[in-house]
């Protein structure tokens, strides 16, 4: 098969009948750096997570079927150039923007506590495939994506509704889903269809029993890797080199860290979906 695109995690191939084959690899990145060591079974978790959401959420989507433990066949779409982000918590780049006085979709006048739950989930779209994703206003989003107002409203309403459903299921399993990113595209009939992937690389999960607002919350799946990178001083190196616009060479991840990472991906999948891997 012809490789069409290689992302940080997925490899996309041209399949028969013009369809696309997504290969979810075991690659991992952190602090915007890609690591040379694969995480056992990560690709499988990503693939099965995406399959779970595509088959159980009420939204037309691009999945045709899963064809291997880490491969999914999807319909080709004309992608809408937006990352449809929904946030349920005051966290991440939303908090950074608010704290630096930049515009946000928040109506709050006073600064919410870090990681606190928002009154209601907000739609916070960004541009796609720029070096850094940039938040956009409704008007900009409509222009960039070449869509109508009505289509924008559909994206916004659908994204918020899907987030609510996903976050309810996560919370029933003891997790908080603080935010999620969706991508949509137009199918051959001109209908808007949910696309790309839905898994731990698209949403942030916090363990509910460890949740305490007012500080940084550890992301359930990647925390093990981030902690190790801080301990070894690699994170400091990332920050120092970033000042010069450079990136360090990623170290190999030791076996015990890989093992724990792998276990966490599997645990999140099995508890949120109620399925065995
Ligand atoms: N059904 C589809 N038809 C056509 N393109 C799609 C479809 N679903 C997703 N895509 C696009 O395929 C690409 C998948 O790439 P992938 O997510 O692996 O890497 P990336 O977005 O380039 O980088 P990153 O690793 O940061 O996500 C994205 O550009 C995505 O928008
Ligand atoms: Mg992507």
Ligand 1, from 6, 77, 79: best to mutate by most atoms within 8 Å of Cβ? 79
Band (pLDDT 50/70/90 cuts) for residue 132 is confident
> Which band of pLDDT confidence, cut at 50, 70 and 90, is reported for residue 131?
low
**Backbone angles phi and psi of 268, in degrees to 5:** -60, -45
What does the pLDDT look like over 5-54, one tens digit per residue? 999 999 999 999 999 999 999 999 998 899 999 999 999 999 999 999 99
Q: Is the CB of 83 under 6 A from ligand 1?
A: no
**Does the C-beta of 7 come closer than 6 Å to ligand 1?**
yes
Burial category of 47 from C-beta neighbours within 10 Å (exposed 0-12, middle 13-18, buried 19 and up): buried
Using the structure block, give the residue that is written with the tokens 């290689």: 6
* pLDDT value at 106 more than 70: yes
pLDDT of residue 10: 96
Predicted confidence band at 162 (pLDDT cuts at 50, 70, 90)?
very high
CA end-to-end span of the chain: 27
CB of 79 closer than 6 A to ligand 1?
yes
Q: For tokens 């409509």, what's the residue?
A: 142
In this prediction, residues 220-242 reach a mean pLDDT of: 94
pLDDT at 263: 97
Q: Is 166 in the pocket of ligand 1 (CB under 6 A)?
A: no
In degrees, to the nearest 5, what angle opens at C-alpha 160 toward C-alphas 154 and 164?
140
Instruction: Look at residue 272 and tell me whether its pLDDT is greater than 90.
Output: yes
Ramachandran sector of residue 62 (left: φ over 0; alpha: ψ -120 to 50; beta: rest): alpha
**pLDDT for position 147:** 97
What is the DSSP secondary structure assignment for residue 70, as one 8-state letter?
Answer: T
Closest residue to atom 22 of ligand 1, CA basis: 7
In whole angstroms, give the CA distance from residue 100 to residue 127: 20
Average pLDDT over residues 141-167: 97
Q: What pLDDT shows up at residue 175?
A: 98
What is the tens place of the pLDDT at every residue in 52-87? 999 999 999 999 999 999 999 999 999 999 999 999
Q: How confident is the model at residue 273 (pLDDT cuts 50, 70, 90)?
A: very high
9 CA → ligand 2 middle, Å: 8
Query: Tokens 């399949």 appear where?
Result: 15
Q: Please report the DSSP string for 208-266 in residue order.
A: GGG--TTSPPPPTTTHHHHHHHHHTTHHHHHHHHHTTT--PPPPPPPHHHHHHHHHHHH
Average pLDDT, rounded, for the chain: 95
The answer to whether 221 and 227 have CB atoms below 8 angstroms apart is no
Non-local (6+) Cβ contacts of 226 within 8 A are 30, 31, 218, 219, 235
């Amino acid at each position: 098969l012809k490789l069409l695109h290689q992302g940080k995690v997925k490899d996309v191939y041209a399949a028969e009948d013009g369809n696309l084959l997504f290969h979810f690899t075991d690659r991992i990145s952190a602090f915007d750096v890609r690591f040379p060591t694969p995480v056992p079974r990560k690709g499988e978790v990503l693939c099965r997570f995406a399959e779970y959401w595509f088959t159980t959420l009420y939204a037309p989507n691009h999945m045709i079927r899963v064809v291997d433990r880490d491969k999914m066949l999807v319909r080709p779409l004309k992608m809408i150039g937006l990352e449809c982000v929904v946030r349920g918590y005051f966290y991440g780049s939303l908090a950074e923007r608010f704290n630096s006085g930049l515009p946000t979709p928040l109506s709050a006048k006073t600064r919410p506590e870090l990681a606190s739950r928002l009154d209601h989930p907000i739609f916070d779209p960004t541009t796609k495939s720029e070096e850094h994703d940039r938040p956009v206003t409704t008007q900009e989003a409509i222009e960039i994506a070449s869509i109508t107002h009505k289509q924008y409203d559909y994206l916004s309403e659908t994204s918020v509704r899907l987030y609510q459903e996903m976050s309810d299921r996560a919370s029933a399993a003891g997790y908080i889903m603080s935010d999620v990113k969706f991508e949509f595209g137009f199918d051959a009939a001109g209908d808007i269809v949910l696309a790309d992937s839905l898994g731990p690389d698209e949403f942030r999960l916090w363990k509910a029993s460890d949740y305490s607002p007012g500080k940084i919350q550890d992301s359930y799946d990647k925390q093990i890797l981030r902690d190790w990178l801080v301990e070894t001083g690699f994170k400091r190196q990332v920050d120092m080199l970033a000042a010069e616009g450079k990136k360090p060479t990623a170290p190999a991840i030791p076996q015990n860290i890989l093992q724990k990472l792998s276990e966490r991906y599997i645990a999140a999948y099995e508890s949120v979906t109620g399925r065995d891997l």
